[in-house]
Amino acid sequence: MGILSSRILRCREPGTIDPQQSEATACLSYISSSRKRKQSGGYCLGLKPDTEKFQDQGENLQQVFSTSHRKKVKITSKYAYQNLFLNGENSDIKIRALGKIWYLHKIFLYQSDYFADMFRSSWEELHKDIIELDIRDQNIDIQSLHFVLGSLYRDEYFLIESLQVPSVLATSCLLQIEDLIQQCNETMKDTINVKTVCSYYAAAETYGLDSVKTGCFEWLLHNLMTHPRAELYKEIGIELVDLLISSSNLLVIQKEMDIYTTLKEWMFLRLNPSWKGSMKQLLINTNNWLSRHRECGGYNTFLDTEEGISFKPVFKKLRFQHIICDLASTKVIEQDGLIPSEWLSSVCKQQWLTLLKAQQYREIGPRDINETELEGYSMRCGKRIIKD
């Protein structure tokens, strides 16, 4: 979670009693019990027919601040959002952040645990006219902050565009608005696709949505090779690819050599993010790019260069014992000049010794093998079945 701090936030001195705390808490308690979010429209702070005039609602608004909090105030969500939030009518506090000022109301801000704790912690805070928020989380922008603050004035769920969810989630976490966090959680789980999976995974990892993170990871395991996309490859970072390639649950199309080809294309796109073209063109351009490197790079394989060394851990996860047993695949790897020769030498030596033992001593391999070894060394392969 990013950093959010208030320049005027101060801790209340020990033993200090906030005379406004019980009154403010009563306001919050009333809103929390009345402001129930629904999928279809509804009202906030008590029900009232849509035919009521805004003038009556404006008069009732005055009662929020001037009458006993035991008396239910009738005001619709639509009125609260339009007149109080957007127009800032009867504002009693201003929030300044990201170069913009919002004219808001403490009674609504109490629904945010961040602001509630702030107001309860200090008499001075409670009576401040303006609060400045220093927001350093780059995932938060003016649009997401506006949406989240506005949600405090609504009693219903409003759809969030899938591409905006990570920003709304970041803002909701910082302001500690639990119901909006849960809405983001459900929206993300329902809208995982090729355009959202990487941003969702990063947001879920940052803000602790484990179920979303797991859902994104499983989606990538199933779709990385079955539905390859150049734009998707550009977004997947090294650490995530490392986890995917290491997983025994990766859905492989064809065989291990095709994982190598996928990694080769992914690396090319990570180093050339401006490239555009089809998947067929991608492989051709990747091979030409590696060919130019061989001509200029001398005897060093690409992974031994300064540009390629960061990709070493990922390619190390390939199961080369299932690649070098095929002559055509071995020739491709040798021609690419990508893999360090010592990697292949050690695998070839091990495979040759295993063959000799099988031929001369009739050794057929280990009698017992544990699940970890099986998942780490077994051959990964798959075939797409075309329906009639």
**Could you read off the pLDDT of 261-316 as tens digits, one per residue?**
999 999 999 999 999 999 999 999 999 999 998 888 667 899 999 999 999 999 99
Average pLDDT, the chain: 80
More confident call, 322 vs 200 = 200
Which one of 193, 223, 253 terminates a domain?
A: 223
pLDDT of residue 4: 42
Q: Domain residues for 336?
A: 224-377
- 3-state SS, the chain, equals CCCEEECCCCCCCCCCCCCCHHHHHHHHHHHHHHCCCECCCCEECCCCCCCCCHHHHHHHHHHHHHCCCCCCCCEEHHHHHHHHHHCCCCCCEEEEECCEEEEECHHHHCCCHHHHHHHHHCHHHHCCCEEEEEECCCCCCHHHHHHHHHHCCCCECCCCCHHHHHHHHHHHHHHCCHHHHHHHHHHHHHCCCCCCHHHHHHHHHHHCCHHHHHHHHHHHHHHCCCCCCHHHHHHCCHHHHHHHHHCCCCCCCECHHHHHHHHHHHHHHHHCCCCCCCHHHHHHHHHHHHHHHHHHHCCCCHHHCCCCHHHHHHHHCCCHHHCCCCHHHHHHHHHHCCCCHHHHHHHHHHHHHHHHHHHHCCCCCCCCCCHHHHHHHCCCCECCCCCC
Q: Tell me, yes or no, whether 50 and 9 share the same domain.
A: yes
Q: Tell me, yes or no, whether 115 and 259 share the same domain.
A: no
Tokens 């970890």 identify what position? 372
pLDDT of residue 299: 72
In the predicted structure, residue 2 carries a pLDDT above the cut 50:
no
- Residue 349 domain flag: yes
Q: Tell me, yes or no, whether 369 and 264 share the same domain.
A: yes
In the predicted structure, residue 331 carries a pLDDT above the cut 80:
yes
Q: Residue 146 and residue 142: Cα distance in Å, rounded? A: 6
Which one of 74, 107, 137 terminates a domain?
A: 137
In the predicted structure, residue 352 carries a pLDDT above the cut 60:
yes
- Residue 318 domain flag: yes
Domain count, the chain: 3
- Residue 382 domain flag: no
- Residue 181 domain flag: yes
**Could you read off the pLDDT of 196-206 as tens digits, one per residue?**
999 999 999 99
Q: Residue 335 and residue 93: Cα distance in Å, rounded? A: 68
Indicate the pLDDT class of residue 19, thresholds 50, 70 and 90: very low
Q: Tell me, yes or no, whether 32 and 114 share the same domain.
A: yes
Q: Tell me, yes or no, whether 132 and 260 share the same domain.
A: no
In the predicted structure, residue 123 carries a pLDDT above the cut 90:
no
What does each C-alpha distance from 50 to 79, 85, 90, 151 come to in angstroms? Answer: 10, 19, 22, 20
Q: Tell me, yes or no, whether 231 and 275 share the same domain.
A: yes
Q: Tell me, yes or no, whether 365 and 230 share the same domain.
A: yes
- Residue 386 domain flag: no
In the predicted structure, residue 154 carries a pLDDT above the cut 90:
no
In the predicted structure, residue 32 carries a pLDDT above the cut 60:
no
- Residue 189 domain flag: yes
Indicate the pLDDT class of residue 337, thresholds 50, 70 and 90: very high
Which one of 223, 250, 268 terminates a domain?
A: 223
More confident call, 35 vs 115 = 115
Q: Tell me, yes or no, whether 207 and 304 share the same domain.
A: no
Q: Tell me, yes or no, whether 249 and 350 share the same domain.
A: yes
Q: Tell me, yes or no, whether 356 and 315 share the same domain.
A: yes
Q: Tell me, yes or no, whether 182 and 87 share the same domain.
A: no
Of these ranges, 6-20, 49-63, 236-250, 355-369, the one predicted with the greatest mean pLDDT is: 236-250
- Residue 143 domain flag: no
Q: Tell me, yes or no, whether 196 and 231 share the same domain.
A: no
Indicate the pLDDT class of residue 65, thresholds 50, 70 and 90: very low
- Residue 360 domain flag: yes
In the predicted structure, residue 29 carries a pLDDT above the cut 50:
no
